[in-house]
Structure 1
Amino acid sequence: MRVAVIGAGPAGATAAYCLARAGVEVDVYEASGGVGGMARSIDLWGQTVGIGPQHFSSTDPRVNELWLEAAGGAYEMVEPRVRTYRDGRLHRDPRPLADRFLRRPAPAFAHPRQGPGEVYARMCAFAERHGGRVHLDAPVAGLALDGTRVTGVRLNSGEVREHDHVISSMPPPGARPAYRYTVVVYLHTSAESVFGDTWIDVPDPGLRTERVTNFDNWVPAAKRGERETVLALEYRCGDDDRWRWHDERYVALARAEIAAIGVVAAQEILDAVALRVPKSQATHQPGPVAPIEGLQVLGRPGATQAGSILSGLLAAENVLEDAGHDLWSPTPHPGRSRITATGLEMESALRPRLKFG
């Protein structure tokens, strides 16, 4: 059995990993030059950074067990510190990140030592070590069909590659795709730990950026001994005029907005670079489409890393076991867990016991 996986984001990488673990020959087709999607890791100025504050958090034991297995212990716990910039000043968020499991604020989350994409890079590397192939810079134009059954994938070059099953992060045939686009401007600053927050949310109508991430306050290993701090400002748009702005315009905007927020002085900015992520988030819904035998369409648009991992895991089970999982409305797991510095803890170990009488 040969299976094609379209997209090497968290869902696609997970599906490839689970299939390879079961001995299935898998080909992953990724349009970009790296794996991880919006959760990939990037090397900049001698450090490893992500695309904004992409972090993993889950209470599902299936997801947590798989993430820990792929991470191989190469992670640390991060205590998130978040402020909000609005009305022209910074506020400590009155609604801190909540651990809905323990009912306490600001839970620590597990983060790979070399950025969020390390787990998905490990998954794809595992698939390759077990006979699979990961094709980067290989955009897929569409599916090859024989009636209502998928027979493979059609690349942009026109080449058709045959497969018995396809697991796809592309919109299904018949859907009306719509996307958000993302531009991230990275600032290389001379200051060490320019501010103490992990990230700053920016719902201020006077600014265009949505969030400022400070990678200095994540995992120390990702800095690789460098002293300077890397910040990221995120800008979202559609396929419109703002997407077509020159990089220099985005860099100038980011410099002006970080100065307006007041956490970095202009003279502390050593360098800046803009990264464009086309179709970074799908906003379409699948709609009524004709079923295609042998095709699994991955997850809901805008899913978290945890939701994407679950979608990939269930898609693999559908191929391997004909499990019949609904990838768009997965059944919740009855148990609950969380990842700690020492591994996985189940609900019974974390919840205080009630005493009566």
Structure 2
Amino acid sequence: MSGKTVAIIGAGPAGLTAAYLLCKEGVPVTVIEADPELVGGIARTARYKGYHFDIGGHRFFSKSKEVEDLWTELLPGDLLERPRSSRIFYRGKFFSYPLRAVEALLKLGIVESALCVLSYLKARLFPVRNPRSVEDWVSNQFGRRLFGIFFRTYTEKVWGMSCKEISADWAAQRIKGLALGSAIANALFPRRKPKRGAAVIKSLIESFRYPRKGPGMMWEACARRVREMGGRVRMGEKVLGCAFDAGRREWTLTHVDRSGVRHQTQAAHVISSAPLRDLAIGLTPSLEENTRAAAARLRYRDFLTVVLILKDRGVFDDNWIYIHDPGVRVGRVQNFKSWSPEMVPDAAMTCYGLEYFCFEGDGMWSMSDADLVELGKRELQQIGLASAADVVDGCVVRQPKAYPVYDDGYARNVETIRREIEARFPTLHLVGRNGMHKYNNQDHAMMTAMLCVKNILAGGPVYDLWRVNEDAEYHEAGDRGAQGQGGTGLRVVPQRVSA
């Protein structure tokens, strides 16, 4: 096939970024999205009775000027500057996040604070030798009591694994880069202020930009621009498989609409942000048996949001609150009105989103919407953020394949798939969170798409997309940051303790 026609699987941040940039260069593009109505993927804006809500929470802040400039280009007059505000809930009390030393010590109480200090001193004097688990490693750094208060519960809720089972190797390489670890260290064991110009921890920013009507507003604008430039965005169609004709150097994508009618799209290049497992298993000619087996071993963590509409009593104005209390199942509570007042149509009301981490098909996922709304009301009252009687309505949004699961075989499986695809299908490009099976943020997904477009326009792999780090920064081979990843760009991940 002549030219650079491109088919894109998925209308999330990565897929639509690629489509928009290709259309600007005059490249014919077809985007195929399974959702019948909403673009944006997990960064979409869901709606219910005039209320808007953000699935997962998306702050528009990036260290990449290229990403920031694209956001401005797409929504020049609709980005609000919002203050960053979040807290931690533990034992019936709310702690500022990042932690503030005096507040944290006062709220923990004299006895608990003293025990934390003693626990820390004990850990420094008598550390666990050769720590094998996250629990042992973090306890060595901060003491076992602080580990239990500010690390254990939320980590286990998110990953669905005990901290005793997660390898210390992950903690040793990642905890210093996590906002929570930095917050604890700086709050309870203060260090000198960083010099002017020193690196900023992205998750501890003071403010961020945010679309008036939620993150989906950005991607709806992007899809509209794509269509205006002649690109096609096909909604409600699921890709069943991708077949490559080596003789014609042409891809044929088979996709089915909601009526069951099958369609086909031909293209010279395919950009995929679809789950890597599904893509790899659906390729023709088939990947090698061991590669297909590696794909089948990839797993995903899902979550659901219980959205509650209630009378606004002015109880809290945080963007979200991390729930470190083991007495409730909710992991985080969002306040959509704090993201943008325009997401709530009635000034006398507010709207909260309670996030529950689970696996598709488990007991939590399979609960009825009515039961989940009742659970949310009970836990919201138990936490002290609202009275259940103030809740007037609610709904549930389920998000399958929200996070790639980083088990001990993850990196090996992804590398196996990646190498064969690159060797056999150089015009098949993997981008985004699920497309690359990498849990990274919106700006990272966008940067992989930006570099992918540059590669297609250049006619070859000028950039290695796997070298984009979690701050959406590209590292050449040998650059600091690439070395610690072995040059693969794969994120260091939680691994189970080996026997």
TM-score range, shorter chain: 0.7 to 0.9
Cα drift, residue 73 of structure 1 = 2.7
Look up the match of 1:27: 30
CA contact (8 A) 1:13 1:120 kept: yes
In structure 1, how many angstroms separate the alpha carbons of the residues matched to 2:314 and 2:346?
A: 13
| Aligned with 1:312 (options 449, 463, 467) | 449
Match of 2:459 in 1: 322
Q: Which runs of 5+ in 1 are unaligned?
A: 335-357
Q: Match of 1:271, as an amino acid?
A: D
1:298-336 Cα deviation digits (max 9, x unpaired):
1442220110111111111121223522222227359xx
Matching residue of 1:131:
230
Whether the 8 Å contact between 2:344 and 2:351 is mirrored in structure 1 is no
CA spacing shift, 1:167–1:254, aligned 2, 3 Å: same
Equivalent position of 1:153 in the other structure: 253
Instruction: State the alpha-carbon separation in 2 of the partners of residues 194 and 323 from structure 1.
Output: 55
Q: Equivalents in 2 of 1:278, 1:62: separation in Å?
A: 30
Q: C-alpha separation between the residues in 1 aligned to 2:198 and 2:25?
A: 34
Residues 33-55 of structure 1, C-alpha deviation per residue, up to 9 Å, x if partnerless?
Answer: 31111111122232322114222
Q: Deviations over 1:98-121 (max 9, x none)?
A: 897457954100101111111111
Say whether residues 1:88 and 2:187 are aligned partners.
no
Counterpart of 1:11, as a letter, is A
How far apart, CA to CA, are the structure 1 residues paired with 2:60 and 2:79?
A: 11
Q: Equivalent residue for 2:114? A: none
Query: CA 1:213/1:100 → structure 2, altered by over 3 Å: closer, same or farther?
Result: farther
Q: C-alpha separation between the residues in 2 aligned to 1:262 and 1:127?
A: 45
CA distance in 2, matches of 1:155, 1:259: 45
Q: Once the two structures are aligned, what percentage of the paired residues are identical?
A: 32
Which string of whole-angstrom CA distances, capped at 9 and with x for unpartnered residues, describes residues 34-79 of structure 1? 1111111122232322114222221111111112111223101111
8 Å CA contact 1:45, 1:188 repeated in 2: no
Letter in 2 for 1:306: D
Equivalent residue, structure 2, for 1:197:
318
Larger RCO, structure (CA 8 Å, separation 6 or more): 1
Q: How far did 1:192 drift?
A: 4.8
Separation in 1 of the partners of 2:86 and 2:307? 19
Bigger shift: 286-295 or 71-80?
Answer: 286-295
Distance 1:169 1:142 in 2: 14
RMSD: 2.4
Structure (1 or 2) with the greater strand fraction: 1
Q: Distance in 2 between matches of 1:313 and 1:9?
A: 14
Residue in structure 2 matching 1:245, options 367, 371, 374: 367
Question: What's the counterpart of residue 429 of structure 2?
Answer: 296
Q: 1:201 Cα deviation (Å)?
A: 0.7
Secondary structure of the structure 2 residue equivalent to 1:208 = coil
Q: Is the 8 A contact 1:193 1:216 kept in 2?
A: no
Q: 1:17 to 1:192 in 2, by over 3 A?
A: farther
Shift, 1:135, TM fit = 1.2
- List runs of 5+ in structure 2 lacking aligned partners: 101-178, 184-196, 281-291, 476-499
Paired with 2:359 and 2:198, the residues of 1 have a C-alpha distance of 33
Q: Is the 8 A contact 1:59 1:101 kept in 2?
A: no
What are the superposed Cα offsets for residues 181-214 of structure 1, whole Å, 9 maximum, x if unpaired? 1211100001254312121011222221111001
User: Secondary structure, in 3 states, of the residue corresponding to 2:381?
Assistant: helix
1:118 equivalent among 217, 228, 237:
217
Does the CA contact (< 8 Å) of 1:79 and 1:106 recur in 2?
no
The structure where helix makes up a greater share of residues is: 2
Deviates more, 1:191-200 or 1:225-234: 191-200
Alpha-carbon separation, structure 2, partners of 1:103 and 1:88: 28
Partner of 2:52: 48
**Higher alpha-carbon Rg:** 2
Count of aligned pairs: 334
